[in-house]
Amino acid sequence: MQIPGPYLLFLGNTPHRLDAKTASGILDWRSELCTGQCRLDADTVDLGLPDMSPAAAAAAGARTLVIGVATFGGAIEEAWIDTLLAAIRAGLNIASGMHARLGDHPAIAAAARETGVCLFDVRHADRRFDVASGRKRSGRRLLTVGVDCAVGKKYAALAIHHALATRGIAADFRATGQTGILIAGGGVAIDAVVSDFAAGAAEALSPDNAPEHWDVIEGQGSLFHPAYAGVSLALLHGSQPDALVLCHDPRRAHIDGYPDYPLPTLTACIAANVQAARLTNPAARCIAIALNTRGMNQSQRDSIFASARKETGVIAFDPIATGANAVVDTLLAGQFRPKHTRPLTEGELT
């Protein structure tokens, strides 16, 4: 799936930056592809790009409108349709990471046929996957996991991959969600794969490789999420990670959108993820905590890092504020290798 750039990032009418995580991720990691943003009203989140209509963006050289927001359940909202149709009439392709397919909307499908533009449903794989085999594969793998959804698993994986590549270490970023696929140019949206084949898709995403090669796999969901734990478990089993990096937003007190579900402790989250990972890789171990400290000053950030290190016994970093060199140092030192090969209890973290 080759999606032509540059992009016009469509933000709909969401006032929340977190809901615009697809657009934010593309802007943060592929800013050279971003011509402008398209917002439906003044209350919509502002990413700081020039505001453009689809026609203006096309005139400025944009080739694809990317739906940059993630709705609950992955639906294409009716309030967007007029703008999407205007983009098609302006000659822009449309790329969507929604569960709903663009071509299933009659007006969008008809307009695309009339103009000859392409509709890209990034979330839907163009291949079938086998049931997971559980067979141990060559090469090394790191998987980012989360205390909750939308806490920085993609950013942590991208930062770690960047740090590995900067040092000349053979590595690939393996995208498992729509934003990661738009950034990387390929991958598998794991949450759109039929559940029986999701672990198999994770196996296919990170095949056999050279012994010292690292696949850095973008995590999804959380084992503690009442709706999305299934996709997290499939990735833990199918990717067979040697190293886990736990991602957390320290400002949250409960699962986002689920106030009746308080967040687990970092210790409990590590123990659960390591135990699940050890079904297919008995050597799996958590090596770091990735913390989203956006908006914090240095003193606040240092305090959060120190608290996480004290609780877990592993290094803490922020993918944006500090980068991931400390994680690569840990990988190169071999400190990710475990002292035990049985499932961890909460206290067994080092």
Q: Which domains does the chain have, with CATH numbers?
A: 7-121 (3.40.50.720), 140-333 (3.40.50.300)
* pLDDT at residue 27 in the model: 95
Tally the C-alpha atoms within 13 A of residue 159's C-alpha that lie toward its C-beta. Answer: 24
Q: Do 235 and 157 meet the contact criterion of CB atoms below 8 Å apart?
A: no
Assess whether pLDDT exceeds 70 at residue 262: yes
- In angstroms, the CA 270 to CA 314 distance is 11
Give the whole-angstrom CA distance, residue 185 versus residue 178: 10
Q: Which residues, in sequence order, are bridge partners of residue 37?
A: 9, 51
Environment class of 350 (CB within 10 Å of its CB; exposed 0-12, middle 13-18, buried 19+) = exposed
Supply the pLDDT for residue 347: 53
CB-based contact 254:224 (threshold 8 Å): no
- Give the pLDDT mean for 182-186: 85
CA-to-CA distance for 82 and 96, rounded, in angstroms?
15
Check pLDDT > 50 for residue 339.
no
Say what the pLDDT of residue 133 is: 97
SS (H, E, C) 43-76: CCCCCCCCECCHHHHHHCCCCEEEECCCCCCCCC
What is the chain's mean pLDDT, rounded?
Answer: 92
Does the bond joining 6 to the residue before it have cis omega, within 30 degrees of 0?
yes
Question: 271 versus 126: which is more confidently predicted?
Answer: 271
- Residue % of the chain over a pLDDT of 70: 95
Amino acid letter for position 212:
E
- The predicted pLDDT at position 1 comes to 60
Amino acid at 89: R
Confidence class of residue 98 from pLDDT cuts 50, 70 and 90?
Answer: confident
Altogether, the residues listed in the chain come to a count of 350
- C-alpha 174/C-alpha 2 separation (Å) is 16
- Classified as helix, coil or strand, 88 is helix
* 198-247 pLDDT tens trace: 999 999 999 999 999 999 999 999 999 999 999 999 999 999 999 999 99
pLDDT band per the 50, 70, 90 thresholds, residue 16 = confident
pLDDT of residue 350: 39
- Given this model, what pLDDT does residue 258 score? 96
Per-residue pLDDT reduced to its tens digit, 281-331? 999 999 999 999 999 999 999 999 999 999 999 999 999 999 999 999 999
Looking at residue 108, what is its pLDDT? 97
| Residue in the structure block whose two tokens are 């594969």 | 137
Contact present, 117 and 91 (Cβ < 8 Å): yes
Higher-scoring residue by pLDDT: 50, 339:
50
SS (HEC) of 204-250: HHCCCCCCCCEEEECCCCCCCCCCCHHHHHHHHHHHCCCEEEEEECC
Q: Quick one: average pLDDT of 15-36? A: 92
Q: Write out pLDDT tens, residues 140-156.
A: 999 999 999 999 999 99
Burial 30-56 (b: 16+ CB within 10 A, else e): beebbbbbbbbeeebbebebeebebeb
Residues 6+ apart with CB under 8 A from 42: none
pTM: 0.84
Confidence band, pLDDT 50/70/90 cuts, at residue 340: very low
Q: What is the DSSP string of 152-198?
A: SHHHHHHHHHHHHHHTT--EEEE--SHHHHHHHS----GGGS-HHHH
Query: Is the model's pLDDT at 99 over the cut of 60?
Result: yes
